[in-house]
Structure 1
Amino acid sequence: MTSRGTATTSRTARTTAAAPRLTGIDAARGLALLGMMATHVLPTFEADAQLTPTWVGLAFSGRAAALFAVLAGIGLALSTGRERPLEGRPLWAARRGVALRALVVAAVGLSLGGLEVNIAVILVHYAVLFLCVLPFLGLGVKRLWALAAAWILASPVLAYLLRPWLLAADPPLRLGHNPGWEDLATPARLLGDVFLTGYYPVLQWLAYLLVGLGIGRLALASGIMPFLLLAAGTAVAVAAKLLGTVFMEDWGGRAALQAQLGSDYPLAGLLQVNLAGVEQSGSPWWLASSAPHSGTTLDLLHTSGVAAAVVGLCLLLGRLADWLQLDLLLPLRGAGAMTLSLYTVHVWIMASLHGSPLPAGRTSEGVYWAQALAALALGGVFARLSWRGPLEWLGHGANQLGRGRPGR
C-alpha cells in the first residue's frame, strides 16, 4: 500500500473513532431487546387447538430477533469506517477484533445453553454470524446491497434443498436444544443445526447482517436518510407480506401445504406467528410463505424492511430529542447499549422460573413488565454514568485486544 493510501486509511480510522454515537441505533437495539423478551415471557398463541395468535405473536415474533441481527450489521459498519469502509491493516485489525468479540459472545451463549429454559438462545448463532460476515467488512455500500439482495434470493432455496439431506442423516444433524459446551464434541451436528436446521439458521440469517452493513454504510446522520429508511423499509415490509398473502391464500399455497400436513394441523396460526420447528420440505410452496421464522425470501424481505423502518424511526426520534435538548431516549438507548448483559440476565431469570408455577398473584404480564422496567432503569443508570455493561466490557476488551489496542 502506498504512503498516501496508508495516510488516507489512518484518517478514516481517526474519523470513525471521533464520530458521535448515533443514539437512535442504541434505542432501536433496546426495542429489539424488549420485543425479544416479550416473545419469551408472554404467550404468542392462545391456548386452543388452532393456535390462534396473540397480539404479541403477531407484533414481535420474527421481527424483534431480525431487528437485533440487522442492528448487529449496522454496528459493525459503524465501527469499521461508516460510509468509508476501512482498508488494509486497519481493516484486518478490525476483523481480528470482531472475531475475538464473537468468541466472547459464543462463550456466553454456550454457557446459557446448559440452562433448562424455554427460550431459543440466539447468542451462539449471533457469534457465528459475526465470523461469517468478516470477509464483507471492507465492501462499499453498492456491493453490500447487491450481495444482500442475492443472498436473500438464493439462500432460502439452498436451505430448502440441503435441509432434507441433513435431517436424513443418522443421527439427524439437528440438536433440538440450545447449543451448549457439550455439543462441541459433535461438531457436524452442531454446525448443521447452527447453519441450517436450528431456530436461527445462519445460512439465511447472514442476509440480515449484510442488510445491516448496507444500512450502516449510508450517511445515517444526514437529514434525509432516516426518512428514506422509514419509507423504504415500510414499503418493502408491506409488499413482502402482501405478496406472501397472495401466494398462500389467493393462489392456493396454504391449501396445498395443509393437504400435505393433514387437516388437523394448525397451519394457519403457525403461518402468522412462527414456522420454526416445522419441517418445510416436500413442496416448493414452503418457499412462497412470508411466515415469521420461515427463512424464506419473503420472510427475509419483510423482517429486513421492518428493521430498516424501525431504525429510521429511532434515528428521527433521536434527532427530535437532540432538537428538544431532552434525552428522551436515555433508558431505551441505555438498555440498547448493554443488550448482551441484559439478555443474559433475562435468560437466567427465565431459567429460574422454568418448570415452576408462578407465585400466587403473579402473571406472565407482571413478570415481563418487571424485567422490562428493570432493564430500562438499569440501562438509564449505566448510560447516565457512561458505564459499559459487564459483558460489554469483556467484549470491548476482546475487540481492542484484536485490534492491537489493549487497555483502550
Structure 2
Amino acid sequence: MTSRATARPSRARRPSSPASRLRGIDAARGLALLGMMATHLLPTFEPNADLTPTWIGLTFSGRAAALFAVLAGIGLALSTGRQVPPEATALNAARRGVTLRALLIAAVGLSLGGLEVNVAIILVHYALLFLCVLPFLGLKLKALCAWAAGWLVLSPVLAYLLRPWLMAAEPPLHLGRNPSWEDLSTPLPLLGELFLTGYYPVFQWLAYLLVGLVIGRLALTKAIVQILLLTGGTAVAALAKGLGTAAMENWGGRAALEQVLNSPGYPLDSVLQVNLTGIRQEGSWWWLASAAPHSATPLDLAHTSGVAAAVVGACLLLGRLAEWLDLDLLLPLRGAGAMTLTLYSVHIWVVSASYLKPLPAGWTQDGMFFAHAALAIMVGTAFVLLKWRGPLEYAGHAANQLGHNGRIGAV
C-alpha cells in the first residue's frame, strides 16, 4: 500500500549563471554613484577655521570616483571578450564601438559643463579615458598587469615633472572649471586640463582603467577570485595608506611640504585626509609620497585601486550569497548601477538648478542627499524590473552596436 503523503522535493540550488553573478558589478556601480552624490551634496569639511574633515570626506573623497573609473575598465573587459581579449577583426570592431560610446559620453559631459554648478563633472575625462585605453583592449592578462603596475608607479612622476611647465605657460594650460563646448575652440588649455592639470587627470587616471581591465579579464564568476579581490584589495589599500601616513608623519614629509605650501586657507593636515586637488603639488618630491585623496600619486592610485578591487569583490560575493538565498539583495544598488550615466547626468542637472540658491524651507543638506539617492534607487529599480535601459545607456549601447556592426542592431 502506498502512502498518500508524498515527499516534498528538496529545493536544489539553481546553477548560477555568469550574468546573474555579475550583478555585483552593477551593485558596485550603484555604490560609486551614491558615493559621488554624497561628496557633491554633503560637506567634506566642517565649516570651521581648521577645515576639520567630515566622515563623508574621510570615507568617499577620492574613492568613489576612482571606483567609478576602475569599474569602467571592468565594463570594457566584460564587453570585449571577458577572459579572452578580442583579436583581429573583433578587436577592431570593439575599438570602434568603444570610440563611438566615448564620443557620446563626451558630448553629454560637454553639455553638462555649460551648467553653473559647484561639482567637478567627470564625464569628459571619463570619455577620454575610454579613448586612451583602446590600445590595451587586445592585451593578454600578464601584459595588462605589467602595464597597470608601470603606469601606476611612473605616470605620477612624469605628471609631477610636466605640470609646472604647463602651469607656467601664458596663459596657463588649465581651465579651472568643467570643460564645455566652447572650450573646443581653445584646445591646448582643454587638453592640459583633461590630461594633467584638472580634477581627474587622465594621464594618471588611465591606471584605474588598466586595473579595471586586469580585474575584468579574471574569472569573476569564481568564488576564489572574488575572495582574492576582497582580501587582496583590502591589503593593498591598507599598505598604501599606511606608507603614505608614515611618509608624512614619521619620515618628515609633512614638515617638508609645509615649507613649500603656498595655499593659505588649506590646512595641510586636513587636505591630506580629504582632498589635495586645490593644492599645486610642486616644489618638493615629497608630494609623491602622499596617499592623499585626489593627489594622483602612486600611493593614492594604489590605495584607491585597492579599495575599488575590494568593493568589487565584496559586491560579487554578496551577489553569490543573494543567489544562494534566492533573494535579490542587491536590487536597489544594481538598479541604480545599471543606468549610472543617465542618473549621474540628471543628478548634475538637478544640482545646477539649485546652485547658489537657499535650500527649500524645511530641507537640509542631508535631506537633499537622501532625496537624490532615494530617487536614483527607485528609478533604477523600476527600470531593471521593467527590463528597460536608461535613455543614455540605450544611446550608448546603440553607438556601441553601430561601431561593431556598422549599423544599429537589436538594442
TM-score under structure 1 length normalisation: 0.94
Q: For residue 191 of structure 2, what is the amino acid of its counterpart?
A: L
Q: Distance in 2 between matches of 1:239 and 1:364?
A: 34
Q: Distance in 2 between matches of 1:129 and 1:329?
A: 28
Q: Distance in 2 between matches of 1:129 and 1:202?
A: 6
Please state whether the residue corresponding to 1:280 is helix, strand or coil. coil
**TM-aligned CA deviation for residue 256 of structure 1:** 1.1
Aligned to 2:300: 299
Q: How does 1:360-375 map to 2 (within 5 A)?
A: 360-375=361-376
Whether the aligned pair in 2 keeps the contact of 1:258 and 1:265 (CA below 8 Å) is no
Q: For residue 272 of structure 1, what is the amino acid of its counterpart?
A: Q
**TM-aligned CA deviation for residue 312 of structure 1:** 0.2
| Count of paired positions | 391
Q: Distance in 1 between matches of 2:18 and 2:366?
A: 40
**TM-aligned CA deviation for residue 265 of structure 1:** 4.5
Aligned to 1:310: 311
Please state whether the residue corresponding to 1:237 is helix, strand or coil. helix
Whether the aligned pair in 2 keeps the contact of 1:87 and 1:138 (CA below 8 Å) is yes
Q: How does 1:11-90 map to 2 (within 5 A)?
A: 20=19, 22-90=22-90
Structure 1 residue runs of 4 or more that deviate by more than 6 Å after TM superposition: none
- The question of 1:337 aligning with 2:354 is answered no
**TM-aligned CA deviation for residue 361 of structure 1:** 1.2
- The question of 1:322 aligning with 2:323 is answered yes
Distance 1:101 1:264, change over 3 A: closer
Q: For residue 192 of structure 1, what is the amino acid of its counterpart?
A: G
Q: How does 1:5-404 map to 2 (within 5 A)?
A: 20=19, 22-261=22-261, 265-404=266-405
Q: Distance in 1 between matches of 2:39 and 2:223?
A: 34
Please state whether the residue corresponding to 2:223 is helix, strand or coil. coil
Identity, % of aligned positions: 71
Q: Which runs of 5+ in 2 are unaligned?
A: 1-16
Deviations 1:133-176 (A, max 9, x none): 00000111111111000001100000000000000000000001
Q: Larger C-alpha radius of gyration, 1 or 2?
A: 2
Please state whether the residue corresponding to 2:295 is helix, strand or coil. coil
Whether the aligned pair in 2 keeps the contact of 1:62 and 1:293 (CA below 8 Å) is yes
Q: For residue 325 of structure 1, what is the amino acid of its counterpart?
A: D
**TM-aligned CA deviation for residue 255 of structure 1:** 1.0
**TM-aligned CA deviation for residue 244 of structure 1:** 0.3
Q: Which runs of 5+ in 1 are unaligned?
A: 1-17
Q: Distance in 2 between matches of 1:265 and 1:182?
A: 31
Deviations 1:85-105 (A, max 9, x none): 111101110100000000000
Deviations 1:233-278 (A, max 9, x none): 0000000000001100001101111122268741110000000121
Q: Distance in 2 between matches of 1:83 and 1:395?
A: 23
Aligned to 1:15: none
Whether the aligned pair in 1 keeps the contact of 2:28 and 2:311 (CA below 8 Å) is yes
Q: Distance in 1 between matches of 2:376 and 2:347?
A: 9
